[in-house]
A and B are shown apart, each in its own frame.
Chain A
Amino acid sequence: MPPKIGVVTFPGSLDDQDALRAVRLSGAQPVSLWHASDTLAGVDAVILPGGFSYGDYLRAGAISRFAPVMTELIKAADEGLPVLGICNGFQILCEAHLLPGALIRNDVRTFVCRDQDLRVESPDTTWTRDFTAGQQITIVLKNGEGGFVADAETLHRLEGEGQVVFRYVNGNPNGSLNDIAGICNERGNVVGLMPHPEHNVDPLTGPSLDGRAFFASVLGFLAAKV
């Protein structure tokens, strides 16, 4: 039996189907999870996809963070379940305090949509173990509220503890502090990033296939665990 990777659909999620498809292409079994459910259906990992859950009302991710499925997810993440938050998913993880900091409106005051160059800063997470430190990759970026901010102490801790996982290179698209594109929790099982690896798994639709390694990483992790 291949591992099961769940993708949560909230009202207003956009990239849940792409994430499910990327999971399927990776060889794992995709499982659709619903925001109003109070179970994770026994999945081995969870992806919070991109989009505008709950219409981004109040703040991006602020209302989704209290969706029924999140209670179970927060508990499971604390116990080590691999969780990947992509774009809106990253915003939800920050609102849920599974990751530190917050995402604010882009400093350029416009929506940014482009193929974004990134440097992998840490392969020491569940979702990046197939990368090498310093590797440069290209992943689709598309957001209006992708500016990562945190207080000086938190930034210092993230940098010092190796919790900065991805950094923007060849231009910071949104004003993120320290060019941070993605971070992880202390344990490395929860990763959030603004770019969209699920869009970079098929040569038909992506400028690179660099997204595949995210899924291969978690599969490798799950295989090693058993």
Chain B
Amino acid sequence: MARVVVDVMPKPEILDPQGKAVTGALNRLGFAGVSVRQGKRFELEVDGELTDDRLAEVRRAAETLLANTVIETFDVRVEGN
């Protein structure tokens, strides 16, 4: 069993209203000088040995469903134990 993490972020040029709202709230709370962009983190538990083929499959899954590549970028990485 291996854990693969997929991070999905809105592309830099795409407006991120959620991130803006969080930034505004942080600033109001006194956390000055920070700007937030909000994405998503997916943790995939993959059965069996994590071969290159399996990892490529996870990458395909991310591109097919987890991220909308019109507006988002994604990053796939294997999490060490």
A interface residue numbers (CB < 8 A to B): 58-59, 62-63, 66, 94-95, 100-102, 104-107, 109, 147, 149-151, 175
Contacts of B70 in A (CB 8 A): 94, 100-102, 149-151
Most A CB atoms within 10 A — which of B15, B17, B65?
A: B17
A106 x B71 contact (CB < 8 A): no
User: Which residues B14-29 have CB closer than 8 A to chain A?
Assistant: 14-15, 17-18, 20-21
Please count the residue pairs between chain A and chain B whose beta carbons lie under 8 angstroms apart in the complex: 36
Q: How many residues of B contact A (CB 8 A)?
A: 12
CB–CB B71/A102 < 8 A: yes
Which residue of A63, A95, A107, A150 contacts B17 across the interface (Cβ within 8 Å)? Answer: A107
Determine the distance from Cα of A100 to Cα of B70 in the docked complex, in whole angstroms: 9
Residues in A with CB closer than 8 Å to B68 are: 59, 62, 95, 102
Q: Mark B45-81, 1 if CB is under 8 A from A, else 0.
A: 0000000000000000000011010110000000000
Instruction: Please indicate the chain B residues that have their CB under 8 angstroms from the CB of A62 in the complex.
Output: 65, 68
Q: How far is the CA of A58 from the CA of B70 in the complex (A)?
A: 15
Return the contact of A104 from the options B15, B65, B66 (Cβ within 8 A): B15
Inter-chain CA distance A107–B20, complex, in Å, is 10
Q: Across the interface, which residues of A come within 8 angstroms of B15, CB to CB?
A: 104, 107, 147, 149, 175
Beta-carbon contact of A106 and B17 below 8 Å: yes
